[in-house]
Structure 1
Amino acid sequence: MNVNEFLKVKTNYIGIGIMSILFCGILLLLILIETLAFFLIYGSGATSSRIAKLWYVDLILNYLPILIVGGFLVFRIKKEYYKEELVKFKTNLITLLILMLLFALRNHLEHLIF
């Protein structure tokens, strides 16, 4: 499929909006669950602050939610591409791009809000 064929495929804008909001909510929920689980396991003392500074804990806490949600969307994108359901393929692809953009801008948005 080339770019011209991709652009001619019908776009489901309502589906993109609903799925973006839904997956953004799931992403925020996963971040909340990870933070809560870390707090319940390690508490709030000096040991937990040393553990939180480890590179792999930082990697897990910051990037595991987007890997889970993004992996699910990539799975759906591949499945719909092979089934040749191009409208759903394009909808999920645009949703994934929006989520990745929001996730990349989350630190900047966090500083603007708070």
Structure 2
Amino acid sequence: MTLVHNLSEHRVRVLLDTGSQIPVVSLYKAREWNLPVQRRTEPRLILAFNKTPDEAGGQYFTDYLVLRHQENHCTRLSFELTDMDDECDVILPQWWMAQHQPSNLFGRPEEIAFESVYC
């Protein structure tokens, strides 16, 4: 997948997470790529997978960005920002997957397809 902002395109490693409820992008990558970031006056409570508060999360979010997930299919999303390990850049939540219905999840990454009526 590719994250698009202005004239910049960034290939992203995406975790499709059925346990997540919000789209998230790495705070480190957002800074590296100069994404448009907003800071909240009151941080939003973001819980980690183990239900503990995410200390880095909830303070920042992005303006709407374009996520291209097929040759000519794009989604506009605003992302929460938090510290992430170096294995992925973006987490997409369950509601996004329900909307786009990815298939071929267990093949090679380039074989994942988004063929729902929505797409």
Question: Structure 2 length normalisation: TM-score?
Answer: 0.24
- Structure with the greater relative contact order (CA < 8 A, sep ≥ 6): 1 or 2? 1
Which is higher, the Rg of structure 1 or of structure 2? 1
Normalized per residue, the structure richer in helix is 1
Question: Structure 1 length normalisation: TM-score?
Answer: 0.25
